[in-house]
């Protein structure tokens, strides 16, 4: 790469990033956001000059934009970018004398602090889609160990970014949005459970007041890491605003020996005019990955809510046969198949087929499933162990121990230390052997406990960082050994959804809740980061197993329709009419999944009681939208339908798309029977009168260019 000028302008995908590289200091991002157009060096220099603030009273006399690694030694009084020490010294490193190289889409910077004997290598990449990615590697160049406490990367915000949006949640109710002003100080979100967690903010956003899906400049950050982490928004009295992200390292967890390096997780920053544009950029980037699934996403059936731990070969053979009759393409046997596993109190870690329940092994079932033309999937929880298991009794030293023994149980289970090479090799060998023997096509990889006491047995040193890397390594190795194997990331539902795990998995499970009333928004907010083809979306029971809310089949199916469709009903108990009804939805999904899984996801800004979400073909030729009423509205009819994302100049035909039961006569606006032909602009600006649906109902619309 060529040596860098003192100021660089990266322009791709409708985004500009201007980076200041003067004086041998670390890169400072002067602008990240809307495209600034072509700027020559003189104009860029003027932009830099115009960005310098005045010096306030009692302030450090070297004012400048803050670098991507903020430094206490430069007068930064917020959160430092690198924290640690060398025997109590080198607590405030000052990286300087940076050597920079650039291309049209990348800046690389290597700087040292000779006094602290540390070296940092930074990289800023702007993808073709307009996603800015920051990465850092810190190396100990000294002769003594360096105790590293953390590395955080910073993305600057303009003064117009005054409103925050992040996500919270709990089991069976993930991705709950919350908004608040950005105050002076720090808004900090931490995940300390060894995974992002059910309350994880998969997007962390700051934007113009009132920003939504369709409008308002918004800047978002995501940390591609599946372990402990933090996300923060910071505003100082000096006027600077930043988004921050990094791995949380527990006390004493990571010490860099001489010559050793630490690679910080990548921070992805996405700017957009509205969250729809953020979504589009993120989805395009993920779909451009070489490892992104290329084949149509198989419709699957999962046995969990159908049979739980009650495994019976005859019933499961029949379940597989009914799956094939339904047009299902992948059969997944969930928890309960391994030695002694009759409930969730025992046997995790004993990854051998139960000889009592399965006296002839799983071979017969797997062969039967494959013979029906279906893929065969199997549930594992490789990182976990029950104390009541042969593995725990044989190897108690393989269990994480925070210094107080194995610690308190959660779901009757504890954590297996995969940083222990023997434990890692044992689990990998067991899982790999079953994949070989049974021809497993798909692993549902679960993770049902937080790592609250994750200390290595013997040393007692914290091990979350090593555990995360070991889980990644095991997934990577299984895929290397078994080309074509697909993996789903599940963690009590949506507890491990991030771009770190998605680099080695093909699907995430957004929530254990299949209730469509909750799933509408769980999928909506998960979908800002994760494209629909990577989200597992299942048709569950009429009476939800998590909320006990009763929902009609069409509402359940219309909610599951968009993602990687699955069925979690007991198919052996469905009557003929219900079975045929489900089959129509499966057929409709398969007919349109190419559009659903390649198109541009768009969402309308609506009132709290209704949702209007859709997918528009990349070329604008067609779209499918879903209108959902979640509760009774103050007005009747409930809303005007204004469809975003269509080509404003093209003419479209809008019709009802009803794989199930059409909208009842008394709820149909006059246009719905014959359809409407008008322009994309009219459909977005003026809109159409909405059907007067009852709560917990969805109607789908097919929109085709004419």
What CATH number is associated with residue 525? 3.20.20.70
Q: What is the mean pLDDT of residues 86-111?
A: 96
Q: What is the mean pLDDT of residues 562-570?
A: 98
Q: Give tens-digit pLDDT for 186-206.
A: 999 999 999 999 999 999 999
* Buried/exposed 499-516: b ≥16 CB within 10 Å, e otherwise: bbbbbbbbbbbbbbbbbb
Q: Give tens-digit pLDDT for 274-306.
A: 999 999 999 999 999 999 999 999 999 999 999
Q: Confirm whether 72 is domain-assigned.
A: yes
Is residue 448 domain-shared with residue 548, that is, in the same domain?
A: yes
Confidence of residue 617 (pLDDT cuts 50, 70, 90): very high
Would you name the residues annotated as active-site residues?
446, 512
Q: Cis check for the bond before 481: say yes or no (omega within 30 of 0).
A: no
Q: What is the mean pLDDT of residues 634-657?
A: 94
Q: Give tens-digit pLDDT for 361-409.
A: 999 999 999 999 999 999 999 999 999 999 999 999 999 998 888 889 9
What are the residues whose beta carbons fall under 8 Å from the beta carbon of 126, sequence distance 6 or more?
A: 10, 11, 12, 13, 15, 17, 105, 106, 132, 133
Confidence of residue 431 (pLDDT cuts 50, 70, 90): very high
Q: Confirm whether 323 is domain-assigned.
A: yes
Given the structure tokens 């590293």, which residue do they identify?
A: 148
Is residue 16 domain-shared with residue 117, that is, in the same domain?
A: yes
Is residue 229 domain-shared with residue 376, that is, in the same domain?
A: no
More confident position, 704 or 54: 704
Q: What is the mean pLDDT of residues 563-587?
A: 98
Neighbouring-strand partners of residue 126 = 132
Task: Evaluate if residue 615 carries a pLDDT over 50.
Answer: yes
Is residue 241 domain-shared with residue 312, that is, in the same domain?
A: no
* Whole-number Å distance between alpha carbons of 256 and 138: 9
Q: How many domains does one find in the chain?
A: 3
Mean of per-residue pLDDT scores for the chain: 97
Q: For position 167, which CATH number holds?
A: 2.70.98.60
More confident position, 464 or 403: 464
Tell me how far CA of residue 486 lies from CA of 46, 292, 441, 517, 523, in angstroms: 51, 11, 6, 29, 21
Confidence of residue 639 (pLDDT cuts 50, 70, 90): confident
Last residue of one domain, picked from the residues 551, 575, 596 = 596
Is residue 372 domain-shared with residue 512, that is, in the same domain?
A: yes
What pLDDT sits at residue 61? Answer: 58
Per cent of the chain over pLDDT 70 is: 99
Q: Confirm whether 272 is domain-assigned.
A: yes
Is residue 587 domain-shared with residue 653, that is, in the same domain?
A: no
Closest CA to 347 of 311, 395, 396, 384: 384
Q: Confirm whether 585 is domain-assigned.
A: yes
Q: Give tens-digit pLDDT for 319-371.
A: 999 999 999 999 999 999 999 999 999 999 999 999 999 999 999 999 999 99
What is the SS3 assignment for 72?
helix
- Structure tokens belonging to residue 48: 């830099």
What pLDDT sits at residue 404? Answer: 87
What are the residues whose beta carbons fall under 8 Å from the beta carbon of 573, sequence distance 6 or more?
A: none
* Whole-number Å distance between alpha carbons of 181 and 187: 10
Q: Give tens-digit pLDDT for 472-497.
A: 999 999 999 999 999 999 999 999 99
Is residue 173 domain-shared with residue 36, that is, in the same domain?
A: yes
What is the SS3 assignment for 534?
helix
What pLDDT sits at residue 627? Answer: 98
Q: What is the mean pLDDT of residues 438-462?
A: 96
Q: What is the mean pLDDT of residues 510-538?
A: 99
Q: Give tens-digit pLDDT for 39-87.
A: 999 999 999 999 988 877 777 655 578 899 999 999 898 899 999 999 9
What does DSSP say about strands 330-333 and 375-380: parallel, antiparallel, or unpaired? parallel
Confidence of residue 1 (pLDDT cuts 50, 70, 90): very low
CA atoms within 13 A on the CB side of 619: 4
Is residue 347 domain-shared with residue 279, that is, in the same domain?
A: no
Is residue 529 domain-shared with residue 582, that is, in the same domain?
A: yes
Q: In the chain, count of helices (H) and strands (E)?
A: 14, 37
Last residue of one domain, picked from the residues 262, 287, 312 = 287
Is residue 492 domain-shared with residue 627, that is, in the same domain?
A: no
Closest CA to 306 of 327, 335, 329, 326: 335
What pLDDT sits at residue 465? Answer: 99
Is residue 248 domain-shared with residue 221, that is, in the same domain?
A: yes
Q: What is the mean pLDDT of residues 499-524?
A: 99
Q: Confirm whether 47 is domain-assigned.
A: yes
Last residue of one domain, picked from the residues 258, 287, 316 = 287
Q: What is the mean pLDDT of residues 615-623?
A: 99
Contact 151, 119 (CB under 8 A): no
Domain enclosing residue 255, as ranges: 7-287
Q: Confirm whether 472 is domain-assigned.
A: no
* Whole-number Å distance between alpha carbons of 161 and 179: 13
Q: For position 637, which CATH number holds?
A: 2.60.40.1180
Tell me how far CA of residue 345 lies from CA of 342, 353, 398, 493, in angstroms: 8, 17, 19, 19
Is residue 245 domain-shared with residue 282, that is, in the same domain?
A: yes
């Amino acid at each position: 790469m060529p040596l860098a000028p003192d100021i660089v302008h990266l322009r791709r995908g409708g985004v500009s990033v201007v980076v200041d590289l003067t004086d041998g200091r670390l890169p400072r991002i002067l602008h990240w956001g809307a495209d600034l157009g072509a700027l020559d060096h003189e104009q860029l220099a003027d932009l830099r000059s115009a960005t310098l603030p005045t010096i306030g009273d009692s302030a450090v006399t070297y004012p400048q934009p803050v670098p991507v690694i903020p430094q206490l030694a430069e007068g930064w009084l917020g959160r430092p970018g690198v924290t640690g020490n060398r025997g109590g010294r080198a607590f405030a490193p000052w990286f300087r004398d940076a050597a920079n190289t650039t291309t049209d889409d990348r800046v690389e910077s290597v700087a040292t602090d000779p006094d602290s004997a540390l070296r940092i290598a930074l990289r800023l990449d702007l993808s073709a889609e307009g996603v800015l990615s920051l990465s850092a590697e810190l190396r100990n160049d000294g002769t003594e160990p360096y105790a590293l406490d953390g590395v955080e990367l910073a993305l600057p915000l303009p003064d117009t970014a005054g409103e925050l949006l992040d996500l919270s949640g709990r089991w069976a109710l993930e991705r709950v949005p919350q908004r608040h002003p950005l105050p002076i100080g720090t808004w900090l979100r931490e995940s300390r459970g060894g995974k992002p967690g059910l309350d994880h903010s998969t997007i962390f956003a700051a934007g113009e007041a009132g920003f939504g899906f369709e409008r308002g400049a918004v800047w978002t950050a995501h940390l591609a890491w599946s372990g402990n982490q933090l996300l923060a928004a910071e505003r100082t009295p000096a006027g600077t605003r930043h988004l921050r992200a990094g791995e949380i390292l527990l006390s004493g967890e990571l010490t860099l020996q001489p010559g050793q390096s630490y690679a910080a997780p990548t921070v992805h920053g996405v700017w957009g005019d509205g969250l729809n544009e953020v979504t589009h950029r993120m989805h395009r980037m993920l779909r451009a990955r070489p490892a992104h699934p290329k084949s149509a996403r198989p419709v699957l059936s999962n046995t969990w809510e159908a049979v739980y731990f009650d495994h019976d070969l005859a019933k499961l053979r029949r379940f597989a046969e009914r799956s094939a009759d339904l047009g299902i393409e992948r059969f997944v046997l969930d928890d309960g198949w391994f030695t002694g596993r009759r409930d969730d109190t025992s046997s995790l870690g004993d990854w051998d087929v139960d000889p009592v329940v399965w006296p002839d092994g799983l071979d017969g079932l797997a062969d039967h499933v494959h013979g029906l033309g279906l893929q065969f999937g199997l549930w594992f929880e490789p990182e976990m162990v029950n104390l009541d298991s042969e593995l725990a009794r044989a190897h108690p030293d393989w269990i994480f121990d925070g210094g107080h023994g194995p610690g308190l149980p959660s779901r009757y289970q504890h954590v297996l230390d995969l940083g222990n090479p023997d434990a890692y090799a044992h689990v990998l060998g067991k899982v790999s052997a079953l994949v070989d023997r049974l021809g497993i096509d798909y692993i549902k990889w679960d993770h049902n406990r937080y790592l609250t006491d994750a200390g290595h047995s013997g040393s007692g040193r914290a091990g979350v960082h090593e555990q995360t890397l070991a889980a990644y390594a095991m997934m990577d190795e299984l895929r290397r050994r078994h080309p074509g194997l697909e993996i789903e990331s599940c963690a009590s539902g949506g507890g491990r959804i991030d771009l770190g795990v998605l680099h080695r998995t093909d699907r995430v499970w957004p929530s254990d809740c299949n209730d469509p009333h909750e799933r509408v928004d769980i999928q909506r907010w998960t979908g800002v980061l994760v494209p629909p083809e990577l989200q597992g979306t299942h048709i569950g029971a009429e009476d939800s197993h998590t909320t006990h809310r009763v929902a009609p089949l069409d509402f359940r199916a219309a909610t599951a329709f968009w993602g990687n469709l699955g069925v979690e009903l007991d198919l052996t108990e469905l009557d003929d009419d219900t079975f045929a009804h489900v089959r129509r939805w499966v057929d409709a999904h398969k007919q349109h999944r190419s559009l659903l899984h390649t198109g541009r996801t768009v969402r309308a800004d609506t009132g709290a009681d209704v949702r209007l979400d859709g997918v528009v073909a990349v070329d604008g030729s067609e779209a499918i939208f879903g209108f959902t009423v979640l509760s009774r509205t103050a007005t009747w009819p409930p809303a005007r339908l204004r469809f975003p994302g269509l080509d404003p100049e093209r003419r479209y035909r809008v019709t009802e798309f009803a794989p199930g039961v059409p909208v009842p006569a008394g709820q149909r606006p006059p246009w719905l029977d014959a359809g409407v032909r008008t322009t994309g602009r009219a459909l977005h600006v003026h809109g159409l009168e909405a059907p007067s649906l009852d709560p917990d109902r969805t109607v789908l619309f097919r929109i085709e260019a004419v």
